[in-house]
Amino acid sequence: IPRMKLLARTLYLWEVGRQVASWSLTSGQECLVLRETWWASMRAVRTRAVHHKPGHCIAMGRIMRPDDANVAGNVHGGTILKMIEEAGVIISTRHCNSQNGERCVAALARVERTDFLSPMCIGEVAHVSAEITYTSKHSVEVQVHVLSENILTGTKKLTNKATLWYVPLSLKNVDKVLEVPPIVYLRQEQEEEGRKRYEAQKLERMETKWRNGDIVQPILNPEPNTVSYSQSSLIHLVGPSDCTLHGFVHGGVTMKLMDEVAGIVAARHCKTNIVTASVDAINFHDKIRKGCVITISGRMTFTSNKSMEIEVLVDADPVVDNSQKRYRAASAFFTYVSLNQEGKPLPVPQLVPETEDEKKRFEEGKGRYLQMKAKRQGHTEPQP
């Protein structure tokens, strides 16, 4: 088996080397970039061979292309979220099938708050590493780190840290949740801390499921800077390419669509270049099956001097199944910032809430903003 692994790695590097040989026909700058990509790939293979712990961690990466970014060259937050989820579903599905028993695939149940610490640009390499940090009887906690690498200078920056929760679903019965094989903890404290995180996310996920029941309704001729002026919706028919082996939508696909809608809302509100700053916990309340029509709706809830909070709701309509009604599938709050041409934050227009519900959501958003601001400053209580 070790010889087979060595042969496979040799063939891989030979194939990459063959591609490098063909790069002599490209321009000097393109050749330099491609050769640097090759060396980065070799370093990644060498790193995985030394540091990879089978079943408990995974590393993957790719170069960012023009279709991954906005007009200013900043990579969409949804693209990063999709890569994070891909790494999470691979490692959790692999772990849940590590023992003999019924085969399953891991389904995303929740993503904890995710901050975008640094923007990523076209031409940079995104390195995504995922590690299983806790398992309960029916769920897996995966922690993911994302690094951006400038392959011309070798500079690396941490761009994202995320925590995701998965549940294993049987391949024979999509509604059957299987048991998760336990992991071995290095210290007893790790298991206790993981159990606390598990209980906290479970409680919040149940509370959120019943809190978001309203629908975003369009309004004719809205005034600028109001909620109605920037609110947006996207309708998407779920196809086979969006789905897992079970025939329901990948969590990463849903998150990417949610980020696109939130970005449209933010851009409509401030009419400048915008980037994702953070995503509050994304809760997946129910599965979305192939053939459903999903409506992703976004509306502004709160603005500070330099940030905008957008609530995004995902509703699924099983048009081919008359026995099931439209239902809420996912929900989250996205925070965006406005940037000038030099990438510096700009002031954003202040939101003008009109109805009592909008004013209530504004105050709730303000509370979340102050709470996170206090947390960043090391305080336990929000400061006015």
Positions marked active-site: 70, 259
Per DSSP, the residues of 335-373 read: EEEEE-TTS-EE--PPPB--SHHHHHHHHHHHHHHHHHH
Report the SS3 class of residue 29: helix
Kindly state the helix (H) or strand (E) to which residue 146 belongs, with its residue range: strand 140-149
Asked if residues 297 and 232 have their Cβ atoms less than 8 Å apart, the reply is yes
Q: How far apart are CA 141 and CA 202, in angstroms?
A: 12
Residue 156 neighbours by CB under 8 Å, 6+ apart: 127, 147, 148, 149, 150
CA-to-CA distance for 353 and 332, rounded, in angstroms? 20
CA–CA distance, 80 with 255 (Å, rounded to integer): 10
**Kind and range of the H or E run holding 220:** none
Cα end-to-end span (Å), the chain: 63
On the CB side of 254, CA atoms within 13 Å amount to 35
Helical ranges in the chain per DSSP H: 2-22, 28-51, 77-96, 188-211, 227-230, 251-270, 356-376
Measure the CA–CA gap between 200 and 112, rounded to whole angstroms.
11
Strand 273-279 vs strand 114-116: parallel, antiparallel, or unpaired?
A: antiparallel
Looking at the DSSP bridge assignments, the partners of residue 317 are 293
